[in-house]
Structure 1
Amino acid sequence: MINPTEYFDELYKNSDDPWEYEQRWYEERKRQICLALLLKPVYAKVLEIGCSNGVFSQHLAPRSKQLICLDANSKAVQLAQARLGHLSHVNVIQQHIPEQFPAGSFDLIIISEILYYLEPEALTKLIEKVEHSLTPQGVVLCCHWRYPIDGFTLTGDQVHHVLKQQFHLHHYLTVNDPDFMVDLWSRETTSLASKEGLI
């Protein structure tokens, strides 16, 4: 397996936007889908794991009263801080998961396009930390690319299979796009329509 630190250093060495988040309709559509799947218009405390250069964070910020964005790569963190620095309720920090994890509880945890860079044992540790950090009404949204990534063990489908096996949460929904998978888990078992008195 490739060293993830070296892998991301090489990607960011050549570009401030290695996956062309700002240019590709594929990325914009995926962001819109993820945001539309959230069960509340605004969450009190949100954690985004793997924020990259902060493009998705910028869209997540209006849906958050407090937003903590994590990334392990120093350049990604600098780019995200520059993009989000004018927002007083957003904090971008450099941390390596699962060894480092922010203290406190979160109403929403977003994990996007990052878990297949972990070894299976590290993935299990992170799942435990995420679940432990959820509030009683907490929600987890995970989104991953479905194709193999050269040099890494896990695919997005494998990651989501492990998540479904190891999370002790209510599985709310799955979106099976040909190119990416989204899963949403919640501590609560009632549907949105039920909460709003429609059924």
Structure 2
Amino acid sequence: MAKHLEYFNQLYEQNDDPWSYADRWYEHRKRAICLSLLLHDQYKKGLELGCSNGIFSQQLAERCQHLVCIDANERAVYLAQQRLSSAAHVKILQKQLPDNFPEDHYDLIMISEIGYYLTRNELLKLIDLCQRNLTDNGMILLCHWRYPIEGFELNGETVHSLFKQEMKLAHYLRLNDKDFLIDVWTKHNNSLADQEGLI
């Protein structure tokens, strides 16, 4: 746990946007793809794990009646709180995963680019918590960079493999981009067309 906290502390000491979320087309495109894969236009309560400086949180806030965003880094949480200060339906909390997981009933859990910063055992605990805190009509979206993260035991491929191995939910889809993976799980296996009575 201490290892990844120090890693992020060093990143945010140097830059308020260490991955260039605001400027890189790669990041804009990836967020747009994630949003396009959400199975509903609106969610009652969403959870974003690892919100960083809140750039993606702004877009998720438009899709959720209530949104809880968490990050372990103090500076990231401050930046996200500033960015979403006018969004009364959004809570941004400083919490470490998986031990301080904000247990509640969520119909959307977004896990983007954080799994490989945990140990294998921490990730397994997180997987269990996500499943236990998902509503009956909820979905989990998992998105990770495919390349190695120096200094950590997991990478995007292993994170998604562990989720696939441990998930007891229905696997709705996988998107294989050359640079990142996206997987979606739901509590039921009905397609969106089926849910809307089209078939």
* TM-score for the superposition, normalised by structure 2: 0.98
Aligned residue number for residue 101 of structure 1: 101
Residues in 2 aligned to 1:147 and 1:90: alpha-carbon distance in whole angstroms: 32
Deviation of 1:103 (Å):
2.6
Match of 2:152 in 1: 152
What is the aligned partner in structure 1 of residue 162 from structure 2? 162
What is the CA distance between 1:195 and its match in structure 2? 1.1
Query: What corresponds to 2:136 in structure 1?
Result: 136
**Matches for 1:53-72 after TM superposition, within 5 Å:** 53-72=53-72
- Asked if 1:73 is matched to 2:93, the reply is no
Structure 1 residues 28-39: aligned runs within 5 Å: 28-39=28-39
Q: Distance in 1 between matches of 2:123 and 2:195?
A: 32
Shift of 1:2: 8.2
5 Å matches for 1:34-49? 34-49=34-49
Aligned length: 199
Does the 8 Å contact 1:2/1:151 carry over to 2? no
SS at structure 2 position matched to 1:127: helix
Output the aligned Cα RMSD: 1.0
Show the counterpart of 1:121.
121
Q: How far, CA to CA, are the matches of 1:23 and 1:102 in structure 2?
A: 31
Equivalent position of 1:88 in the other structure? 88
Provide the C-alpha distance between the structure 2 equivalents of 1:177 and 1:154, rounded to a whole number of angstroms.
Answer: 19
TM-score (norm 1): 0.98
User: What runs of 5+ residues in structure 1 fail to find an aligned partner?
Assistant: none
Quick one: distance in 2 between partners of 1:8 and 1:43?
30
Secondary structure of 2:188 counterpart: coil
8 Å CA contact 1:70–1:95 kept in 2: the answer is yes
Offset from partner CA, 1:41-79 (integer Å, 9 cap, x none):
000000000000000000100100000000000000000
